[in-house]
Structure 1
Amino acid sequence: MRILWMTHSHAPRVGLRSQYRHAPTRHGCVMANIRIIDSISDPGSTSRPNEDAAGGNASCAFVIDGATGLGGKNIVGLHGSDAAWLAQFAQSAFEQMVRPGRPMAEIVQEFNGRVANVVHEAAHSLPIEPWNLPVAGFQMVRVEDDALVTHGLGDCRLFLLDDNGMAFETSAMRQAAAAEREGARMALAHTGGFSAYQALAEEPAVRDELRRRRAAYNTSSSGIWTLGIEPEAGKHLASEPLHPALPACGLLCSDGFAALVDQYQRYNAGEFVAAARETGLSTLLDELRRIERVEDPDGMKYPRFKMSDDATAVLFEIVE
């Protein structure tokens, strides 16, 4: 997540195996199935763990973006990252818990309760700074009864292109990219760029401001709700019905991959899905990294807090 501060991994590019996701339900009067075509997950840096994840089951597909830590002590840990642990924990839990008849709000509430138990047990009753709690965002497409629905928390993205050529896009935090860009512009002006800090959150003044913002997550004062230790987040899901003409094709992305649209403006929503379908996710990933590491390595053309963020995407079809 950008505003939620998500990151990256030691792992190489990873892809889910292409497979059919059969859903015993109807879209209108027609049986609808989610078919995962391809997926990819690439760390933003080889020096940091990948804090993204992706998955699916018989009725859904999703991406998860863990928020990069802000310099505090690791609580639970996975390769030194609470965010990586949370992303993988959420992947496993969603694949098990997202079942026909279970409301998504209830699933998030139960999952966050589980996270709270693990985190507090791992902390051994020691106080935890609010900004140091693990948090993550997600975006999901799900078949529910006779409908297709997308659910999300945070700044992951959905792009959808239907059989009539109509494009749809959404995020639980619609203004996240613009807010991130402005914050990064100010931070870059303060630090002088990536020459001193590969991630601007390492600079003390920038880190303090990010900690202040992170501490307000999962409270009514911020309005930003996430996967994490707060069950109340289940009541704040951003959920929207989907009504594409089938067959439809879509992309679920962490904000690091969606930057090709939201930050670098190389595609609009429809073009992005079409390019993924026609040239493949690996080609888009290569284009993304070329922009970040060759065209704009100092972040001056495209202000951002890291030279490269973790980038994860799932390409899927919704078929009859």
Structure 2
Amino acid sequence: MRVSSASAAGSAHKPNEDFLAVSPRVALVLDGLTSPPELGSGCIHGTPWFVGQLGTQLLREATCRPEVPLIDCVAEAITRVADLHRDTCDLTHLGTPSCSIAMVREGTHTVDHLSIFDSVILLDGPGGLKVLSDLRVNGYAQQEHKETTQHQIGTSEHQQAVSRLVAAQRPYRNVPTGYWVAAANPAAAHNAVTGSVPRSEVTRAAILSDGASCLVEDYELTDWAGLLDLLETQGPDEVISRVRQAEATDPSGERWPRYKASDDSTAVFCLLDGRGTRRPVVRRRGA
């Protein structure tokens, strides 16, 4: 794969809780779930530490063991990171650090994909455009979500509404009847959205945290095909730039109600068919 990527924090005052990593055949994006301070997390390390540890372990597993299904790679990575802090942190806390996972792995005959929570994977080529995500969370705490849209970003009312939303969602997190995130329970891997697409049907792919996919999903400033074209022709930095431009025109969330004025934004773009990597043919005189 030929890969380009970019990631930017949503605020200069907070660390980026997204994480991206790539190897020659694997690309992944993790998007940490922000925990309102008043709700606690039971962890002394924090979300940026967690996503960095999990992303590193996951890239290692998926790259070094290409014959192992992505589900098992994710389960092993989650277990290893949990082992790193189970003696110092309360991993049973409902707010223990967690994140989404979206990843693709190019094999000889297939392109495998895995999603946990709301980051987006795009696969495009002769097989058509596929949009892959895990939106099971949308089935919970709908009234609390609606309440967040009724207040301007930056007000105490909005912050309190977001905290109530997170508190209402947490009891449904990582339980059989709820939705799943990558945290301390490897069972999340076995509840991921997964699949494989024939290698011949994919020529380009993208992985987006919701801080980048919002250009389509929330702001509706392009469609998925247009976003892929933008990634290919102008690069991931341009996608993030356009997200920031949109956010700057609506800082209080009146046009586009949302949880934050500006979210961490990450985009990874992959070319799988070798476009742009061919060396020019040098014709010698007399040939």
Alignment counterpart, residue 292 of structure 1, candidates 235, 241, 247: 247
Contact 2:120 2:132 in 1 (8 A): yes
Give the Cα separation in 2 of the matches to 1:262 and 1:41. 18
Residue in structure 2 matched with residue 83 of structure 1 by the alignment? 47
Given the alignment, which residue of 165, 169, 172 partners 2:134?
A: 172
Match for residue 316 of structure 1? 270
**Compared CA separation, residues 119 and 245, structure 1 to 2 (3 A):** same
Distance 1:97 1:136, change over 3 A: same
How far apart are 1:73 and its partner, in Å?
A: 5.3
Q: Distance in 1 between matches of 2:136 and 2:165?
A: 22
Secondary structure at the counterpart of residue 319 of structure 1? coil
String of CA shifts for 1:179-237, please: whole Å, max 9, x gaps.
Answer: 89985542132xx312325x94x42x541341231233111131x12211101112112
TM-score norm. by structure 1 comes to 0.76
Aligned residues: 270
Larger Rg: 2
**Gap runs ≥5 in structure 1:** 1-33
Q: Look up the match of 2:106.
A: 143
Partner of 1:120: 86
Tell me by how many angstroms 1:245 deviates.
4.8
Structure 2 CA distance for aligned equivalents of residues 266 and 243 of structure 1: 31
From the superposition, tell whether residues 129 and 234 of structure 1 become closer, same or farther in structure 2 (CA, over 3 Å): closer
Contact 2:41–2:93 (Cα < 8 Å) also in 1: no
Q: What corresponds to 1:65 in structure 2?
A: 31
User: What is the SS of the residue equivalent to 2:272?
Assistant: strand
Equivalent in the alignment of 2:220: 265
For residue 170 of structure 1, what is the amino acid of its counterpart?
A: L
CA deviations 1:9-49 (Å, max 9, x no partner) are xxxxxxxxxxxxxxxxxxxxxxxxx221x111011111111
Q: 2:187 aligns with which of 226, 229, 232?
A: 232
**TM-superposed deviation, 1:147:** 1.4
Q: Residue 14 of structure 2 corresponds to which residue in structure 1?
A: 48
Distance in 1 separating the partners of 2:94 and 2:268: 29
- 2: distance between equivalents of 1:196 and 1:73? 23
Spell out the pairing of 1:127-276 with structure 2 (5 A cutoff): 130-144=93-107, 146-162=109-125, 164=126, 166-173=128-135, 176=138, 184-189=145-150, 192-197=151-156, 200=158, 202-203=159-160, 205-222=161-178, 224-243=179-198, 245=200, 248-276=203-231
- SS of the equivalent of 2:5 reads strand
Give the one of 48, 51, 56 matched to 1:92. 56
Percent identity of paired positions between Structure 1 and Structure 2? 23
d(CA) in 2 for partners of 1:180 and 1:277? Answer: 37
TM-score normalised by structure 2 residue count: 0.85
- Change in Cα spacing, 1:182 to 1:241, as seen in structure 2 (3 Å) is farther
Structure 2 residue ranges without an equivalent (≥5): 275-287
Query: Counterparts of 2:105 and 2:15 in 1: how far apart (Å)?
Result: 28
In structure 2, C-alpha distance between the alignment counterparts of 1:109 and 1:146, rounded to whole Å = 24
Contact 1:136–1:227 (Cα < 8 Å) also in 2:
yes
> C-alpha offsets along residues 60-105 of structure 1, whole Å, 9 cap, x if unaligned?
111111111121156242xxxx221121112211221112111222
Q: Aligned Cα RMSD in Å?
A: 2.6
